[in-house]
């Protein structure tokens, strides 16, 4: 499986505690606001946010979720996420790598924010298999990614194409801007003879 190495992220956070300016940039603030406004449910029972970084989006999700599992692989980022969410009841911040450390669920909200393009196609398909295996029959799946040029295995558009190709997902929000892509899907039952893509 090809993905960005753990050492790549460790080095980024070693040189800058907020390397993508999650706390300060207007791009991030606006993107978070649009993401939260696009969630169709007023409240969710159990949510999963892999790749939570320093927890800026996590702190917003916590306001809409009874339980939130936020994970990352970088200790420094996790420490900041724990500190940010320390007063939010129901939030767990854990060190987990995906897809190998995927939690059992069940989740009625899965948020893939700026993480899916770090994986190659086969691995992202594996991740989507886990998303569908651990989410409820009416779950919401959210993806939001930068659309600019990167050195990642996938572009943001390619990542969303793979996520949205799952037969169990029905598009409810498709928001496209030059800088980022925001998609929201809800689970739907498969019809007779329809098999999930793997």
Could you report the per-residue pLDDT of 48-80, keeping only the tens digit for each?
A: 999 999 899 999 999 999 999 999 999 888 999
> Does 99 map to a domain?
yes
Number of H helices, E strands in the chain: 6, 7
Q: Is residue 192 part of a domain?
A: no
Residue 125 located in a structural domain: yes
Per-residue pLDDT band for 189 (boundaries 50, 70, 90) equals low
Residue 104 covered by a domain: yes
Residue 197 within any structural domain of the chain:
no
CA dist 171 and 148 (Å) reads 23
**Number of domains within the chain:** 1
Is 198 inside any structural domain?
Answer: no
pLDDT band with cut points at 50, 70 and 90 for residue 190 = low
Q: How far is CA 147 from the centre of its chain?
A: 15
Hey, is 167 helix, strand or coil?
A: coil
CB of 190 within 8 A of CB of 196? yes
Is residue 69, in this structure, part of any structural domain at all?
yes
The CATH number that applies at residue 97 is 3.40.50.150
Residue span of the structural domain in which 70 resides = 6-38+45-187
């Amino acid at each position: 499986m090809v993905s960005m190495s753990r050492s790549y992220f460790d080095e980024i956070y070693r040189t800058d505690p907020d390397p993508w300016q999650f706390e300060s940039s207007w791009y991030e603030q606006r993107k978070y606001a649009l993401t939260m406004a696009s969630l169709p449910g007023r409240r969710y029972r159990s949510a999963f946010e892999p790749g939570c970084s320093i927890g800026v989006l996590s702190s917003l999700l916590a306001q809409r979720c009874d339980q939130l599992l936020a994970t990352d692989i970088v200790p420094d980022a996790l420490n900041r996420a724990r500190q940010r969410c320390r007063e939010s009841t129901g939030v767990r911040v854990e060190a987990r790598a995906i897809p190998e450390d995927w939690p059992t669920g069940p989740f009625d909200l899965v948020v893939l924010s700026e993480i899916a393009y770090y994986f190659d196609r086969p691995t992202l398909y594996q991740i989507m298999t886990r998303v569908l295996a651990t989410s409820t029959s009416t779950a919401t799946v959210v993806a939001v990614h930068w659309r600019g040029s990167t050195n990642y295995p996938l572009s943001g558009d390619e990542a969303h194409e793979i996520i949205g190709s799952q037969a169990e997902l029905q598009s409810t929000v498709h928001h496209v801007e030059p800088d980022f892509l925001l998609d929201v899907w809800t689970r739907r039952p498969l019809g007779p003879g329809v098999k999930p893509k793997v």
